[in-house]
Amino acid sequence: MSNVIHLNARRPRFGPLRGLAALIEGFASHRRFGDDVFWLKENAELLNILECTGQAPGEEALAPHLTFYRELPERLRFFPQYYRFLLSLCLDLEDLGMTGEMGVELAEWVAGQGLPEAELSDLQRAEARRLLARRGIEFTSRDAGLTDRLHDFIARSETFALPNKKAAYELTHIVFYLSEYGRRAPDLPAEALVSLEFAGLLAYLEQNADLLAEICVAMRYAGATPSPIWEDWLAGALGGFTLFSGAQAEMRDDYHEYLVCAWAGLAAGRGAPDQAVAQGPVSFHRATDWGGPLREISECIYRMGAARSGDWGSMRPQIAAQLSETGHDILSAAEASSPRFDAFFAGFARTGLLRVAV
């Protein structure tokens, strides 16, 4: 079921995050607790971003996770349904500086139990495959067509010209897994870069910093350079966060958006966030702002019925007339951000079957 392979991949280094020990301690000890699946999710997301951006917190900063790390074999055997979270946390802790080699033991157990075979989703199978490969285990599935299906999905660019956040996040994660988070060229079909660009246009029109940040990171891992318009806007969004500490900290916050915007900034070589992370409870809050003109544009062309066209040149004046000044400015910036905006709109207008030329 499993074969040992050898990897020589190195983590890319993008520069250090400020207040790293406080950030780790805050997520480990002050937001949720270890038996809560949301604790697993939040800490797995944080440690994954730290690991794949080449952070080096060291064992002292990771000490809040020491008891959890030591209990991982028992937790995995009792909670095998969470094996991807648990294995990811284990591997990241070790690769960030935790002393131990438990990751090999856990990866071998996961492969031996055939847990990836219980996955119905190709995306989850791809994540499991990537996790096992980090400790040199190649999971040999009865289904050999996984990579081909992933390529087929991300190469269908017309999918990503329509608002569908689930598909867009799956697109970014497929690129993460196939590129081993920037460690290798992912060998993507050319159409996948078009898909990323279309998904990025939708995220920018919606002013969705969380999704756009992941898209920009995925583009860089795929060997492409995101639009500076997108990355400048993300830098501004990151700078607009307020961090609440102590008694003011709230569990319901925008932590994920903060983390992925910081990740995108590091991947773009723009450095770490300026905000200081205090010791103890901390929460992350982005100023509430208008959501962007995406919904207005969609409603406008829907009301046109049979009169709508996929020709952006003819549709632009009619759409622009329905937008506020701010909405018009965002639309104009979106146009300027991509030479494929016309092709994107042809699919977004939904006037017929779109086949995208790369």
| 104 inside domain | yes
Q: In the structure encoding, which two tokens stand for residue 233, read together?
A: 């806007």
pLDDT digits (tens, 9 = 90+) for 174-196: 999 999 999 999 999 999 999 99
* 290-305 per-position pLDDT tens digit: 789 999 999 999 999 9
Q: Domain limits at 69?
A: 1-144
Q: Identify whether 31 is part of a domain.
A: yes
Residue 90 domain flag: yes
Q: Name residues whose C-beta falls within 8 Å of residue 173's C-beta, 6 or more positions apart in sequence.
A: 123, 126, 127
Q: Is a pLDDT exceeding 50 seen at residue 4?
A: no
Q: How many domains is the chain built from?
A: 1
Q: Does residue 70 belong to any structural domain of this protein?
A: yes
Element (H, E) at 127: helix 122-133
Answer yes or no: pTM beyond 0.85.
yes
Answer whether residue 166 is part of any domain.
no
Cα separation, 323 vs 329, whole angstroms: 9
Give the number of other CB atoms < 10 A from CB of residue 190: 9
Measured distance between the N- and C-terminal CA atoms of the chain, rounded to whole angstroms: 39
Cα–Cα distance for residue pair 357/122, rounded to 1 Å: 26
What's the mean pLDDT in 231-254? 93
Is residue 32 in a domain? yes
The three-class DSSP label of residue 246 is helix
Question: CB of 331 within 8 A of CB of 312?
Answer: no
Q: What is the pLDDT of residue 339?
A: 97
Q: How confident is the model at residue 2 (pLDDT cuts 50, 70, 90)?
A: very low
The pLDDT assigned to 34 comes to 67
Q: Is residue 165 part of a domain?
A: no
Q: Is residue 287 part of a domain?
A: no
pLDDT in tens, 309-352: 999 999 999 999 999 999 999 999 999 999 999 999 999 999 87
Q: Which two tokens stand for residue 275?
A: 């905000």
